[in-house]
Structure 1
Amino acid sequence: MSQQDRRLEVSEAAWRVIVREGLDRASMRAIAQEMNCTTGVVTHYFRNKQELILFALHQVTERLKVRMQVAIENVAGIDRLATMLLSFLPLDQERQEILRVWVAFLGYAVGRDGLMEEHRQSAAELRAVIIQELQALQSKGLIQADLVPQVEANALLALVNGIGIDTLIQADHLGPGQQEAIIHRYIAGMVTGQC
């Protein structure tokens, strides 16, 4: 097994501990126990918890990007934008776990510049993709010509983030169907001018 594969294995063990017990309990020791190995094995690949968390956060971002790319293959027009946004919502067990890990990382990143910068970079990359998509839709006349893609990208990111966080708070009241309906309703407003 390569060093990168082993680092991914440690990162996945960290995810499992975080989802089950929370980030504050995801110590190097707890992660080692999750892997049935010694703490020394974990520290061989990551010097400390912050380095491991930074790597795991990067893996969250990569998983979401891959999920989005797969979801939008063979989808065009306004449906492509909706599919792109829906790929980030916690509509299934895997994405619910990704959301829990992402929210835990976000809280942990407050006051830690390196981790907060990783969050900023991830958001900036996603924002750029959404802006590009909105510009393409505008050039094809599929959404209003007077919309400002940068502003709409911010609104869409805020909407997706808000829906995601709200599902953690009130999962019983914001199921997958409602999440999808909210996204489709907002996008329909971009077409009709009533968003």
Structure 2
Amino acid sequence: MRKVDHDTRRAEVAGAAAKLIAKKGLEALTTRALAKELKCSIGVLSHYFSSKEEIVIAAFRWADQRIDLRMQEAITNEEQNIGSFVPVIKAGLPLDEESDLEWRVRLNLHTFALTHADSLEAERDKNNQFRELMVIMIANMQAIDQIRRDISARDITSIAFDLVNGMAKNLLMCPFDEREAKAEYLFRLIDVLKGPAAA
């Protein structure tokens, strides 16, 4: 079997596992349930993954990578101005069915990672890398007076991360048609960060 086929099939299994976790919780993810979802045998699953834990970790990475990719695209595609914060924040929130699924899996990951040291370390490393991207973006905007300079780029990044993570968890409990309105105050807070060139 070619490696590309093997990797594609692993990604399919990870995606199906993520959807099961999002809909029914981590405890519902069994190899039997997953095999049924994929219409394959348990033996086929064991060809791609050596254990249930390996499947769980792959499912979490599948969801995390999709959220991170959307946020990274929002960062790199936007001009360096204060308005570019809005799409970055929106990219990190569960405002549609796709991002809702990913966030439900991500929340399960946080609980799982607390009792699995390797996953916890990987999660920390990934978050630190993404924070560094944000710090650079904010520092660049401070240099051209788009963002006020009396708060450090690192502090602004930490505030943004904490607000988005907390808001994402709260939004999961709301109907879809209420989520944009409930997140609106985050976008209004951006005005507080405006520098002289953006005021």
User: 1:173: Cα distance to partner?
Assistant: 9.3
The runs of 5 or more residues in structure 2 that have no matched partner are: none
1:123 aligns with 2:127: yes
> Where in structure 1 do 4 or more consecutive aligned residues deviate above 6 Å?
none
Tell me the TM-score normalized by structure 1. Answer: 0.89
Pairing 1:29-178 to 2, within 5 Å after superposition: 29-72=32-75, 74-76=77-79, 77-171=81-175, 175-178=179-182
Percent sequence identity is 27
The runs of 5 or more residues in structure 1 that have no matched partner are: none
2:71 corresponds to which letter in structure 1?
M
C-alpha distance in 2 between matches for 1:173 and 1:151: 32
1:82 corresponds to which letter in structure 2?
V
Considering Cα pairs closer than 8 Å and 6+ residues apart, tell me whether 1 or 2 has the greater RCO: 2
Tell me the TM-score normalized by structure 2. Answer: 0.88
Q: Which stretch has the larger CA shift, 156-165 or 47-56?
A: 47-56
C-alpha distance in 1 between matches for 2:67 and 2:138: 19
1:58 corresponds to which letter in structure 2?
R
The C-alpha deviation readout for 1:116-151, integer Å capped at 9, x for no partner, is: 122212211221121111101101101111111111
CA contact under 8 A between 1:81 and 1:133: conserved in structure 2? no
The C-alpha deviation readout for 1:149-193, integer Å capped at 9, x for no partner, is: 1111111100000000011234479511321x2221222111279
